[in-house]
Amino acid sequence: MYRWEITKAALAQRVFAIIRSDSYDQATAAADTLLSAGLTTVELSLTTPFALEAITTLVREVGDEAVIGAGTVLDAASAWMAVDAGARFLVSPSLDPEVIRTGHRYGLPVFPGVATPTEMVRALELGADALKLFPASAHSPRWVKDVRAALPQAALLPTGGVTVADAPDWIAAGAVACGMGSALSEGDRDVVAKRAAELLARLQDVAPAEAP
């Protein structure tokens, strides 16, 4: 798949699950729960012990049924290791040109972290495929709407503090997808399945935001 195809698939549901766990077993179990609940995009943070091995396992198990990516990719070295592990996309909390270059060199989309319009423009100049607005808790859906008035070409992914209740508001304001961690994954399989189903239905019903 080309980068744009992976990007489209990864953001198709307007939400992607973020897993940051204390162990390989917890990470793969959480991923299995989320994928079984209907989520099709999972980002596994490299802060998780044996995260690379978990990515390899998940990619092998899900095949083309889901898109598995690596998160908290901070430099070229970790970007390459994520590529080698089989990750389909890279996400970073910061804006590092080498992470973008490494991902693109091997055909992977990269979603770097940004927090200001200046960083957004710089990320776009570097060829970022979408922009992780981090932390989203420092901003608001209204802020996204205002920024899009000047930068309608910025594909924003609010992450960090997004809840099931306000995720539709971010999408309505112009975000293309939301990244969600514990707000989505806490609880047993039945709780997660119900929460995910309700969220996916609500996001599907949100009208695409028109460019200001």
Q: How is residue 94 written in tokens?
A: 């910061």
Q: Is 43 considered catalytic here?
A: yes
Q: Is 194 considered catalytic here?
A: no
Residue type for 155, please?
Answer: A
DSSP letter at 211 equals: P
| Catalytic site residue from 5, 43, 65, 125 | 43
d(C-alpha 67, C-alpha 151), whole Å? 28
d(C-alpha 43, C-alpha 46), whole Å? 9
Residue written as token pair 């080498």: 98
Q: How many CB atoms lie within 10 A of CB 79?
A: 28
Closest to 183 measured CA to CA, from 51, 39, 71: 39
CA separation, residue 139 to residues 5, 111, 189, 198 (Å): 29, 18, 31, 25
Closest to 1 measured CA to CA, from 107, 160, 138, 90: 107
| Catalytic site residue from 132, 186, 194, 198 | 132
Catalytic residues: 43, 132
